[in-house]
Structure 1
Amino acid sequence: MAAALRCALCGCLLLCVSGIVPKPQNARVMSVNFRSIFQWDAPKFYKGNISYTVQSKSNVFHGGTYEKEITNLRLTECDVSFLSAYGDYILQVRAESENNHSDWATIRFKPMDDTVVGPPDVKVKSESGYLHVDFIGPFAEHEHDRWPLKHYYGSWNYRILYRKKGSDTEVTHVDTKHNSEILSQLEPWTIYCIQVQAVIPDWNKTGELSRELCEQTTHNGVTPVWIIVTILIGSTLVVVIFVPACFFSFLYLYRLTKRVFCPSYLFPQHLREFLSKSPSGSQFFSPLPQEEHVFYDKLTVISEEYKNQSNETGDEASKTTEHLQDSEQEDSDSRTVPASEKA
């Protein structure tokens, strides 16, 4: 081990002395949602000003020339997002110092296979015992444009993983082709933690999980039996008590209003008959009958002489009256004699 390390150090010193530049190490492409960065490590045991040159070519035509070259790079990375997502490429990089340069460090890059599908944006809402999960993306960004990754791959599913908070073993997952899903059959008043990722069956790719969102469920929307019974009893009491009370209250107010504004006073019968007759002057102003309503006495004044004469005359008149009465009695008796006596 020590001998091998000693030989490597000697080789590097020999390269430095001879002016040969060692090539970059660990060349790789970091690609997320087609945002691709070609990276490498700087060569070891080399001191001095160093720059890099990157070349790319399509791997479809073997032996073809490199189509793109980027020179005089000072950083150990290069943005290659300009490459088509559907291509197959060869990327290479070398180190340069003054008039010397290293060998090429070469890798193969296929964006559709090598890019990492990022997590979607997720929103969770709790309602009526269910969890409504909405998700969108991820997107590929090219300059000012954003394109959903599922437009590149064609086949695309979302996988929703959820579990009770505090339980790491019992994880349930649901796959859907839509951008939303309702999680049902959950326990009420329980906190569930949810993550979502993209799944691409045709490319055998699985995207990164979204950040974990935890939400508590509410009541499951099923009304317990005791609540139904309580409502029925309450409704019955309302019908039995409240409705009659309202009816009698309304009836009392109606009668009171009628008594105040429309009193039930009966006009006397004799006044109604009197007023029903047609008004005429003869009825209102006719004189009252003399024999029924006029009462008076006759006053006679006589003198003393006339009184004596009157007495005498009265005696004679009384005698005359008695004589006439006796005569009338005899006539009456003679008229009433039976017929048998006359015979």
Structure 2
Amino acid sequence: MAAALRAALCGGILLCVAGMVPKPQNVRISSVNLHSTLQWDAPRFARGNISYTVRFKSINLPGNTYEPLGTKLRVPECDVSSLSAYGHYELQVRAEAGPRRSPWVALPFRPMDDTVIGPPEVQVKSESGALHVDFSGPFAEHKQDKWPLRQYYGSWSYRILYWKEGSTAGLTSASRVTHVDTKHNSEILSQLEPWTVYCVRVQAVIPEWNKTGELSRELCEQTTHNGVTPVWVIVAVLIGSMLAVVIAVPVCFFSFFHLYRLTKHVFCPSYIFPQHLKEFLSKPPSAPQSFSPLPQEEHLIYDKLTVISEDSQNPRGEAEGEASETPEHLQGSEQGNSNSGGGAASGKA
């Protein structure tokens, strides 16, 4: 009797198991920069098509019930990025084939802990013997929205790792790798060897959550001159400046002097202005000009000069000769005088 009951029970169990849908396998969370996806492996079930249902419950609040995240899913994954990044959840997934259901498979999920911090975006520029490193992100993306991850975490910093190219096997030799931590979005790597190629990688570090982000891609850049001017260059510049001053000062002086003489010659000529023109121009225009009149003939005084030759025998002829030598205008004057004398004589008679 007992053996028959045991056989019937085992047969019923086998019948139930044969009609049950297998549960999903290898349930896991894939989360990068708070973009989270619940994934699993599809079970082997030959009878009918399988769909999946995903639900969640918040563990922070006791007494909460499960809420659906996805139903009738045809692919073995479900986007759970809509859950709050600060929550603590339990996710469940099961397989369905018509009216048959598989058991639930549970998985705890805490977005801030489980997500992977991706690499930041990095730019490296060589200038004056130093490397200027700028970085930003990573960013949390959901649909059309985008936020910097550092807004979710309290203590956030960047770690810059750099080394000489070819000197080591990259990050495998920690003794040759130098790292610098900063809370800013840029850093200047100084005290580097000039004309040397350095490689740089950057990652995010969150000490409060004990998390370290992924490293950025390797960027290599060659440094230039370190910006320190050699002493011989300074001395050469000083000597050249002094020579330039010594040459420039005389040239400027003689150029100015020549220009001064040329200007003076053009605008202030060196010839002397005539004195009578100076006096004439110095008088006012309205002043009458005084000119001495030419002497008139009636104001001239003449003396009669008689020349007597010693060998002359004819005094009268001499007199006539003298008379003929007298100028005509003097003769007219004498005639006038004689006339006036004759008239006076006749009047007297």
TM-score (norm: length of structure 1): 0.74
Cα deviations by residue, 1:45-76 (Å, 9 ceiling, x for unpaired): 64531111112112235675312252211001
Match of 2:143 in 1: 143
Give the equivalent residue in structure 1 for 2:182.
Answer: 176
Q: One-letter code of the match for 1:42?
A: A
Ranges of 4+ aligned residues in structure 1 off by more than 4 Å: 14-17, 61-64, 273-279, 294-308
TM-aligned CA distance change 1:150 to 1:298, over 3 Å? same
Amino acid paired to 1:92: Q
Distance in 2, matches of 1:134 and 1:26, equals: 40
Residue of structure 2 in register with 1:124 after alignment: 124
> Which residue is equivalent to 1:86?
86
**Contact between 2:69 and 2:80, CA under 8 Å: does it hold in 1?**
no
Match of 1:272 among 261, 275, 280: 275
Mapped pair 1:52 → 2:41: no
- Structure-1 residue corresponding to 2:263: 257
Shift of 1:25: 0.8
In 2 relative to 1, CA 200–285 (structure 1 residues): closer, same or farther, beyond 3 Å? same
User: Normalising to structure 2: TM-score of the pair?
Assistant: 0.73
Contact kept, 8 Å, 1:193 with 1:215, in 2: the verdict is yes
Which sections of structure 2, spanning at least 5 residues, go unmatched? 1-13, 284-288, 320-349
Tell me how far 1:202 sits from its aligned partner.
0.7
Q: Is the 8 A contact 1:24 1:93 kept in 2?
A: yes
Match of 2:338 in 1: none
- The question of whether the paired residues in 2 share the 8 Å contact of 1:132 and 1:181 is answered with yes
Identity %: 65
Matched, 1:227 2:227: no
Quote the offset at 1:274 in angstroms.
Answer: 9.1
State the aligned residue count.
Answer: 291
- Aligned partner of 1:28 in structure 2 is 28
> Which amino acid is the alignment partner of residue 136 of structure 2?
I
With over 3 angstroms needed to count, the CA separation of the structure-2 counterparts of 1:71 and 1:299, relative to structure 1, is same
**Please, which runs of 5 or more residues in structure 1 have no aligned partner?**
1-13, 311-343
Distance 2:71 2:312 in 1: 182
Contact 1:32 1:116 in 2 (8 A): yes
User: 2:243 matched to which residue of 1?
Assistant: 237
Structure 1 counterpart SS, 2:232: helix
Distance, in Å, in 1 between the alignment partners of 2:133 and 2:314 is: 148
Counterparts of residues 155-174 of structure 1 (less than 5 Å)? 155-167=155-167, 168=170, 169=173, 170-174=176-180
Alignment CA distance shift 1:296-1:131 (3 Å): farther
Contact 1:15 1:21 in 2 (8 A): no
CA distance in 2: counterparts of 1:275 and 1:69, whole angstroms: 117
Separation in structure 2 between the aligned mates of residue 296 and residue 205 of structure 1, nearest angstrom: 148
Task: Please tell me whether Structure 1 or Structure 2 has the larger radius of gyration of its CA atoms.
Answer: 1
The amino acid of 1:157's aligned partner reads: S
Deviations 1:181-222 (A, max 9, x none): 121112222222222111110110001112222222222221
